[in-house]
């Protein structure tokens, strides 16, 4: 049995960057995705650049400012030239994201990723937006540049790559869940899959996150869980091998 532990949001803030660093060094994270348009993206990469970690592009069109000219992507930005929030996008009755405009921004973020890291991303996916047009634009750019497109919510993607997402967990009134109980509840799914993937958002809190993100208390909680002795013992007990996209694809 194999499992990919993906950590999202590198670059969203310095606090999150430090929490992701800890979750890589002391915890189970095997992949981490950087948000190229965010001001703390370079800071995040500098923290992890000398660590052997599978690094992907966590493409972002719902937080902060775009890299491309806002005038060229009107379907993605508000009157202030900033991205619409994920809440606004995901609750629209009609998907008004223009695929070509979206590809323009995704390409700009890919170029910034390469400028920051000096290499192409080892996997390619998106942040917090479930628009079909956005996902299509991501897939189009990934194919154009021969990048590994990661979309574990898509059953067809799961079957194609033999990587299966675990069930969604339910949040309580504080926006939290019990990761220990959750993992125990998912053991049967993990054992029947060739490879499973689970996505985390570990990090430490800072003012930017408190003001701009719906994920707050969950971040340090997931950081603690990923670094826990309980998780290390649990993975060993059930003979679950932690892999990343790079290692897993080589093994197929």
Check residue 251 and give its pLDDT. 65
Residue pair 190/240 in contact (Cβ under 8 Å)? The answer is yes
Average pLDDT for residues 157-173, to the nearest whole number?
A: 95
> Which pLDDT band holds residue 249 (cuts at 50, 70, 90)?
confident
Q: Say whether pLDDT at 252 is over 60.
A: no
CA atoms within 13 A on the CB side of 77: 18
Q: How far is CA 91 from CA 63, 81, 95, 208, in A?
A: 16, 20, 9, 24
Answer whether 0.95 is exceeded by the pTM.
Answer: yes
Q: Rounded to whole angstroms, how far apart are CA atoms 146 and 121?
A: 10
Q: Say whether pLDDT at 233 is over 60.
A: yes
CATH superfamily for domain 2-251: Glycoside hydrolase/deacetylase (3.20.20.370)
Check residue 130 and give its pLDDT. 96
The pLDDT > 90 percentage for the chain reads: 97
Average pLDDT for residues 1-17, to the nearest whole number?
A: 98
Average pLDDT for residues 24-45, to the nearest whole number?
A: 98
Q: How far is CA 222 from CA 50, 83, 109, 132, 142, in A?
A: 23, 27, 27, 29, 29
Q: Say whether pLDDT at 91 is over 90.
A: yes
Check residue 247 and give its pLDDT. 87
Check residue 121 and give its pLDDT. 98
> Which pLDDT band holds residue 226 (cuts at 50, 70, 90)?
very high
Average pLDDT for residues 157-180, to the nearest whole number?
A: 95
The pLDDT > 70 percentage for the chain reads: 99
Among residues 73, 23, 28, the alpha carbon closest in space to that of 48 is found at 23
Check residue 248 and give its pLDDT. 80
> Which pLDDT band holds residue 125 (cuts at 50, 70, 90)?
very high
> Which pLDDT band holds residue 35 (cuts at 50, 70, 90)?
very high
Check residue 32 and give its pLDDT. 98
């Amino acid at each position: 049995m194999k499992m990919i532990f993906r950590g999202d949001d590198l670059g969203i803030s310095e606090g999150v960057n430090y929490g992701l660093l800890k979750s890589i060094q002391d915890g189970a994270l095997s992949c981490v995705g950087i948000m190229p348009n965010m001001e703390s993206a370079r800071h995040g990469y500098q923290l992890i650049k000398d660590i052997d970690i599978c690094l992907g592009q966590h493409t972002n069109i719902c937080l902060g400012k775009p890299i491309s000219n806002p005038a060229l992507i009107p379907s993605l930005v508000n009157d202030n030239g900033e991205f619409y929030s994920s809440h606004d996008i995901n609750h629209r009755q009609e998907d008004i994201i223009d695929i070509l405009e979206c590809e323009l921004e995704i390409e700009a973020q890919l170029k910034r990723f390469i400028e920051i890291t000096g290499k192409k991303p080892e996997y390619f996916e998106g942040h917090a937006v479930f628009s079909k047009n956005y996902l299509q634009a991501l897939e189009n750019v990934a194919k154009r540049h021969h990048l590994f497109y990661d979309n574990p919510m898509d059953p067809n993607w799961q079957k194609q790559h033999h990587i299966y997402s675990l069930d969604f967990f339910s949040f309580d009134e504080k926006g939290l869940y019990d990761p220990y109980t959750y993992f125990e509840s998912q053991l049967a799914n993990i054992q029947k899959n060739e490879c499973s993937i689970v996505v985390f958002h570990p990090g430490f809190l800072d003012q930017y996150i408190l003001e701009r993100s719906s994920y707050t208390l969950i971040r340090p909680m997931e950081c603690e869980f990923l670094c826990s002795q309980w998780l290390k013992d649990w993975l060993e007990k059930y003979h679950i091998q932690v892999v990343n996209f790079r290692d897993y694809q080589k093994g197929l």
